[in-house]
Amino acid sequence: MLIKNCRLVDRPDEFFDVTVDHEVIASITIAEKPRDDAPSKQIVDAKGALLTSSLAEPHAHLDKAFLSERISNPTGDLMGAINAMESGRDQITVDDTIARAERAVRLMVSNGVTAIRTHADVTEWNSLDSIDALLEVRNRTREIVELQIVALLGWPLSGDLGQANLALGKKAIRLGADILGGCPHLDVDPVGANIALLQLASELGCGLDLHTDEHTDAHRVSLEDLAERVIAIKFAHSVTASHCVSLGMQTEDVQQRISEKVALASIGVVALPHTNLFLQGRDKSTAPPRGLTAISKLRRAGVRVAAGADNLQDPFNPLGSGDPLETAALMVLAAHQLPDDAFDAISNTAKSVIGTAESHLKIGDRADLMLTQADSLREAIANRSARSMVMYRGRLTHLTKN
């Protein structure tokens, strides 16, 4: 395949031709007139569009997508959303979940996404229904996107009362889920939950992706304990901490100390501005917190900080468009990140955190690419410019004709 007449971020004033051979980038050359062998290639004329790495969604809840009209959250906070989902379970079937989740995946793909990590509720009242649904969606969409499934366990997780939830986690991983998840901050014993999740993940040989400290209480930070335990036991698999909201409420010295431990533990962090801006800080009528983690402090300590959208038009977030460029815009406006850094948080850093291949537009890199109708990354984020082409493993998954 030949992608001709595209522009690159670091050389915006020149046009380039990029060839893809099977799954990888084979060549990058200054654009030239069509050669004799051009007709033998599949050609995409970029017409000056910006060629970049494709995007990733490092934290989704596809099993809840598009439920806003059906299940409301009148209080607008985290527990209101959790309670709304629990009370509305009778309105949800496996087939319904498949339809909504597949719709969300295909929407994200059209917006440049080639990798999605989605959490799936594995709880007493939901059992393995979400896992069953998302396994089917993964099968249906495997040619267009890499879909990772996290078994999001209920609580408690420690002691005798936690055994049933842990048993469900074992079943979910053995059924085909990739990663173990949970919400230690909602557990009566967050430290015990960290211990139980690390032990179970070690036993099952899988990674962890935890909802961590999704609250604005400065007196509760389980992230530090998680990092210390990962270091102490030399945990052999990947660990991701999503949200980490209360870290943003700490003093700079505490943020620095915890960030250094997180970096030493090689824990990836996922900031989730959509839902945390919506759900958090509602109890503060004066100077409400933004509900975001200490992004800049973490990054300066060497932590990989990705950005995700979390929920898509459901009780946890009534809005969202399935477009990571919307997430990047919030990273600029609400988290004070520069546009280039915000883009990286939804592209290659996000891919690094979830453990999929990065693409830096170098020869030999996997051809997970997209064309965007913009002159720069800043303009792409500002305008949420149209993606005219998306490529996954060298295969076209989305193409619009100019």
Give dist(CA 313, CA 322) in Å, integer. Answer: 9
pLDDT computed for residue 284 by the predictor: 84
State which residues form the domain around 151. 55-354
Q: Could you tell me if 63 and 358 are in contact, meaning their C-beta atoms sit under 8 angstroms apart?
A: no
Based on the fold, state whether residues 391 and 349 are members of the same structural domain. no
237: domain CATH number? Answer: 3.20.20.140
Mean pLDDT by 10 residues, the chain (402 residues): 94 92 94 62 91 98 95 89 86 94 98 98 90 98 98 93 94 97 94 96 97 93 97 97 96 97 98 94 85 96 98 94 97 96 98 96 96 96 96 95 67
Number of domains making up the chain: 2
Based on the fold, state whether residues 363 and 301 are members of the same structural domain. no
Based on the fold, state whether residues 230 and 271 are members of the same structural domain. yes
Based on the fold, state whether residues 73 and 207 are members of the same structural domain. yes
Based on the fold, state whether residues 48 and 194 are members of the same structural domain. no
- pTM across the whole model: 0.95
**Which single residue is written with the structure tokens 């395949």?**
1
Q: Give the torsion sign (CA, 107, 112, 115, 119).
A: negative
Crossing angle of helices 252-264 and 223-233, in 10° steps, is 30
379: domain CATH number? Answer: 2.30.40.10
Which of 372, 332, 311 shows the shortest CA–CA distance to 54?
372
Q: 184: cis peptide before it, omega within 30°?
A: no
Give dist(CA 212, CA 245) in Å, integer. Answer: 8
Based on the fold, state whether residues 300 and 376 are members of the same structural domain. no
Based on the fold, state whether residues 223 and 76 are members of the same structural domain. yes
Based on the fold, state whether residues 164 and 41 are members of the same structural domain. no
Give dist(CA 267, CA 223) in Å, integer. Answer: 10
| Pure H helices in 88-175 | 94-110, 129-141, 163-175
C-alpha distances in angstroms, 360 versus 63, 234, 274? 31, 30, 27
Based on the fold, state whether residues 97 and 179 are members of the same structural domain. yes
Based on the fold, state whether residues 192 and 330 are members of the same structural domain. yes
Helix, strand, coil percentages for the chain (3-state, nearest 5): 40, 25, 35
Based on the fold, state whether residues 215 and 363 are members of the same structural domain. no
pLDDT computed for residue 39 by the predictor: 57
pLDDT computed for residue 289 by the predictor: 86
User: Token pair of 201, please?
Assistant: 């993940």
Strands, DSSP E only, in 88-247?
Answer: 113-122, 146-153, 179-182, 207-212, 239-243
Based on the fold, state whether residues 44 and 69 are members of the same structural domain. no
